[in-house]
Chains A and B, each alone.
Chain A
Amino acid sequence: MLLFAGSPFEINRIMLIRFIAVLAIVLIFWLGTRKMRIVPRRFQSLVEMGLDFVRVNIAEDLLGKKDGRRFLPILTTIFFMVLFMNLTGIIPLLNIAGTSVIGVPLVLAVVSYVTFIYAGVRKHPGAFFKNSLFPPGVPKPIYIIVAPIELVSTFVLRPITLTLRLLMNMVVGHLLLVLFFSATSFFLFTAGGWFSLFGIGTLAFGFVFTLFEILVAVLQAYVFSLLTAVYIQLALAEEH
């Protein structure tokens, strides 16, 4: 299934799945916040719970009230985008996570990277990079070792680990599900006979791993946004 094939706007199945996830987010949050009541109804409470989770447990816990509010749009977007695109992996007919191709993890990692550098530079103009690479209070000769380590860990490894952690979790989850359900299909319909018993086993495993994938989807969304908040917090910290 391809649209605009060959152009930079080529749309394949995974891009479509991402659009569906985006549409779902827009629909749910638009409807959930359309007529907000002081005393919320069930659906509104659910939406509020999701938004409050990011606001209180990620943004305000790590960054405090003021900075938490500043970076809340980015953190909220990252959390729900990752969450919904992860969940498409276990939704029937979609069956693959929107985050299981490198584009989205990479884009979000770059967003996180740019955001924490922006936060650091705004807070400590001119001193951010110097303090990041040469942390104050360390004896001068040690900088020969510390500076390269800081450079690699802060400015190279952070976006890479963010990208790969999410991407690999989703790819592996998808592979596991494909493996279990293909094997089930094979044992039940191709092999037949006594192999059907194996098929029951692989089906059960497939079911358990589907549940596990829900946990992974939520956890990865939480980890991604939490790490972004942590990086921003470190960039804003006074020592820098």
Chain B
Amino acid sequence: MLQALSTSVIAAEATHNPIAPETPDLVWGAVCFVVLLVFFWRAILPRMKKLLDERGEAIEGNIEKADVAQREAEAVLEQYTAQLADARVEAGTIRDQARTDGQRILAELKEQATTEAARIAANAQSQIEAERQAAVVSLRSEVGSLAIDLASGVIGESLTDDTRSAAIVDRFLHDLEARDLEASDSKAVSS
């Protein structure tokens, strides 16, 4: 059965020699080839070439764009870095300035305070002196009048004549002072 089958199949294929070409076979084969050649040559391959060129250009354009963007970004970064450095320098200057200002203000205040203290001390000194002077003057007149009152009381005679009484008082006080002076001198000598 198998043998019969295979022989029938081969017989069907081998009715003519498959290597001997027939005219219509060649004609239509050539026609198919020419049609396809013209089709690829004139229509498809030019389209493909155009596409490839466009694609190449697009890729190049994109690369260029990216380059430009990169360069811009680098420039901006540089600018920012420079600005940052400037800002740092400025901040340092301001800090230094503030420090010197502070020191200067402190020194000024100290000086002012010292002056003020000195002034207050001088004031107090002069006031004390003035009061002492006033006390001395008032004491002197008081002591004088007291002494004269006492003396007049003792001698029973009025010594109210101003010029005379003043002269007496002055002489008395002068004597007193001289005695004091002598005493202090002798004391200094003895010591």
Residues of chain B within 8 A (CB-CB) of A107 are 26, 29-30, 33
Contact with A along B29-63 (1 / 0, CB 8 A): 11011011101110111011011001100100000
Q: Which of B9, B35, B36 has the most CB of A within 10 A?
A: B36
Residue from B1, B29, B36, B58 whose CB has the most chain A CB atoms within 10 Å? B29
B24 adjacent to chain A (CB < 8 Å): yes
* Interface of B: prevailing SS: helix
Chain A residues, CB < 8 A from B9: 175, 178-179, 182
- Specify which chain A residues have a CB less than 8 angstroms from the CB of B48 in the assembled complex: 33, 36, 48, 51, 55
Query: Which of the 9-residue segments A73-81, A86-94, A140-148, A227-235 touches chain B?
Result: A73-81
Q: Which of B1, B44, B51, B54 contacts A186 (CB 8 A)?
A: B1
Chain A, range 7-38, C-beta contacts under 8 Å to B: 7-12, 14-15, 18-19, 21-22, 25-26, 29-30, 33, 36, 38
Q: Decide if B36 touches A8 in the complex (CB within 8 Å).
A: no
**Contact A108–B33 (Cβ < 8 Å):** yes
> With A72-B45, A104-B32, A111-B33 known to touch, is A77 a contact of B25 (CB < 8 Å)?
no
Which listed residue (A15, A38, A72, A74) contacts B28, Cβ 8 A?
Answer: A15
Minimum Cβ distance to chain B for residue A205 (Å): 14
Residue of A nearest to B50 (CB): A36
Count residues of chain B with CB under 8 A from any CB of chain A: 38
Q: How far in angstroms is the closest Cβ of chain A from B115?
A: 87
Q: Are A77 and B33 in contact (CB under 8 A)?
A: yes
Which of B5, B30, B48, B54 has its CB near the most chain A CB atoms (within 10 A)?
A: B48
> With A36-B47, A77-B33, A178-B9 as given contacts, are A15 and B1 in contact (CB-CB < 8 Å)?
no
A76 touches B29 (CB 8 A): no
Q: Chain B: which residue is nearest A105 at the CB level?
A: B29
Pairs across A and B, CB under 8 Å, 21 listed? A8-B24, A9-B28, A19-B28, A22-B36, A26-B36, A29-B43, A33-B51, A38-B51, A38-B58, A51-B44, A51-B45, A77-B39, A77-B40, A80-B40, A101-B18, A104-B33, A106-B29, A111-B33, A178-B9, A179-B9, A183-B5
Interface residues of A (CB under 8 A from B): 4, 7-12, 14-15, 18-19, 21-22, 25-26, 29-30, 33, 36, 38, 48, 51, 55, 72-74, 76-77, 80-81, 85, 98, 101-104, 106-108, 111, 164, 167, 171, 175, 178-179, 182-183, 186, 191
Mark B residues whose CB is within 8 Å of A: 1-2, 5-6, 9-10, 13, 18-30, 32-33, 35-37, 39-41, 43-45, 47-48, 50-51, 54-55, 58
